[in-house]
Amino acid sequence: MRAPMVERARGTRDLDPAYLARHGHMEAAFRRTAAAFGFREVLPPTFEPLELFHRKAGPGIEQEMYVFKDRAGRDLVLRPELTAGVLRYYVNELTSAPKPIKVYSFGPTFRYEEPQRGRYREFWQYSCEVLGGSPVDADAEAIALAVKSIQATGVRQVTTRIGHIGMLRAWLKVDRERQNRILHALDKRNFEMLHAELDAAGLLDLEGTLRDLIGIQGGSEVLARASDVLGGVGGEGFDHLRRIAERLAAYGVRDFVFDMGVIRGLSYYTGMVFQIHSQNLGAEDQVGGGGSYALAELFGGDPIFSTGFAIGVDRIVLAAEAEGVAVPPPNLDAYVIPIGDAVRQKAFEITGNLRTTGLRIDVDLVGRGPSKNLDYANAMKARWAVLVGEKELANGNVALRNMETGEQREVPVAELASVLGMDKPHFQNGVEFH
């Protein structure tokens, strides 16, 4: 009797070769861009002490995470994001390292939330941090890297929105805890909650101003208008944004807007904040975001200016699909078919030699006849079939069949690798070249 099938866990996916080809393209683009900016890779553990996230976001965050005890009774959590682990690592081991510290991380993260399109319980993040830079330069570096990283994948139809939570904190004259609740309500556009929080704080007269403020967006010219709405409070924050705009122009980054509605109402954000949205993803259109934050002191270290961002790799994959971005398919360059047992050893020798060139090569491992092997090569979307027969080998040749056109010709074994690689498509920034 056959055992029942075991279904995958809810909120997870079995990732197929086609999806992983897109995922790998995004990962390579992110790594390449981060390296070009002088960032170095680090990777915190997959599970961390639960206390780390209690300190970052409070005990209430547990309901959104995978929390468990190990055999010694220690409370642990599967990492829901990468930044906290990187900052813990910094406080533990890197405080004496030369500044600024510029690092990136790439890996799976886990959150216990309701699955939906583009939102899973296991998902991948690309996260970058600048620790110890001067505020304007470090913030501009983070935004530029985020924008350039996405551009490197070939995705173009995105909007970068930049705000500043620091000026709101300066304007809201209430204790930090209540301030965080007000900002959270504003971030979520939960106006009923906003009204209740302002009422409890005796600040209902500010409700109209806050709702007016979050509607202001545009170029640098809107910063003066936003400053007027706040009565001139937070002037340093608005000046900070103007200087960031100048830095971004120097980087060649001009396609962004200032948006006073970008709040990112988490308690550890302190200054500049930004979000990147894809117009092709519907209501859940955010693909990345970040800003300057204070976490080192929460984890036992001295204060240090910190800024960074995280990009959801799965969201970028969806955005790339929506835009029709071309990525290298997981197809074979060639499938080697021995015609008869007498040439199988030679066929495996040819296969081994071709694989050393970086070409993607497979070979018949079953012992099928030529017709069934050609069917298999077609199913695997091989560009070429290399038919190794005694007659051709006697002349130092193999038969090479174009699987798209069906054309077949003899090619010297010594020239096979160069012929197979000659018309292989190459991809750069989502564009296919031959």
- Alpha-carbon distances, residue 130 vs 7, 39, 53, 54, 249 (angstroms): 41, 9, 20, 23, 20
- Looking at the chain, the number of H-run helices and the number of E-run strands are 15, 19
As a dihedral over the C-alpha atoms of residue 192, residue 197, residue 200, residue 205, rounded to 10 degrees, the angle is: -80
Query: What is the gyration radius of the CA atoms in the chain, in angstroms?
Result: 27
Cα–Cα distance measured from residue 274 to residue 262, given in angstroms and rounded to the nearest whole number: 7
How many residues appear in the chain? 434
Cα–Cα distance measured from residue 332 to residue 16, given in angstroms and rounded to the nearest whole number: 15
CB 77 within 8 Å of CB 67: yes
Please provide the average confidence, as pLDDT, over all residues in the chain.
92
**Residue 120 DSSP one-character state:** -
As a dihedral over the C-alpha atoms of residue 236, residue 242, residue 243, residue 244, rounded to 10 degrees, the angle is: 110
The domain limits of the chain are: 17-323, 334-433
Nearest to 220 by CA among 191, 186, 260: 260
Q: What is the pLDDT of residue 423?
A: 64
Helix, strand, or coil (residue 319):
helix
Cα–Cα distance measured from residue 386 to residue 347, given in angstroms and rounded to the nearest whole number: 9
Cα–Cα distance measured from residue 78 to residue 48, given in angstroms and rounded to the nearest whole number: 7
In CATH terms, the superfamily for domain 334-433 is: Anticodon-binding domain (3.40.50.800)
Q: What is the pLDDT of residue 234?
A: 74
Query: Do strands 256-259 and 158-164 pair parallel, antiparallel, or not at all (unpaired)?
Result: parallel
Q: What is the pLDDT of residue 434?
A: 40
Cα–Cα distance measured from residue 385 to residue 144, given in angstroms and rounded to the nearest whole number: 45
pLDDT tens over the chain, length 434 residues: 899 999 999 999 999 999 999 999 999 999 999 999 999 999 999 999 999 999 988 777 889 999 999 999 999 999 999 999 999 999 999 999 999 999 999 999 999 988 888 789 999 999 999 999 999 999 999 999 999 999 999 999 999 999 999 888 888 888 888 888 898 888 888 999 999 999 988 889 999 999 999 999 999 999 999 888 888 877 889 999 999 999 999 999 988 999 998 987 567 889 999 999 999 998 889 999 999 999 999 999 999 999 999 999 999 999 999 999 988 888 999 999 999 999 999 999 999 999 999 999 999 999 999 999 999 999 999 999 999 999 999 999 999 999 999 999 999 999 999 999 876 665 555 544 44
CB 237 within 8 Å of CB 137: no
- Which token pair is 197? 């929080």
Cα–Cα distance measured from residue 58 to residue 79, given in angstroms and rounded to the nearest whole number: 15
Query: Do strands 334-338 and 384-388 pair parallel, antiparallel, or not at all (unpaired)?
Result: parallel
Q: What is the pLDDT of residue 72?
A: 97
Q: What is the pLDDT of residue 430?
A: 53
Compute how many other C-beta atoms are within 10 angstroms of the C-beta atom of residue 76: 18
Q: What is the pLDDT of residue 426?
A: 55
CATH number of 17-323, picked from 3.30.930.10, 3.90.420.10, 3.30.465.10, 3.40.1710.10:
3.30.930.10
Nearest to 124 by CA among 203, 199, 22: 22
**Residue 147 DSSP one-character state:** H
Nearest to 214 by CA among 160, 259, 168: 259
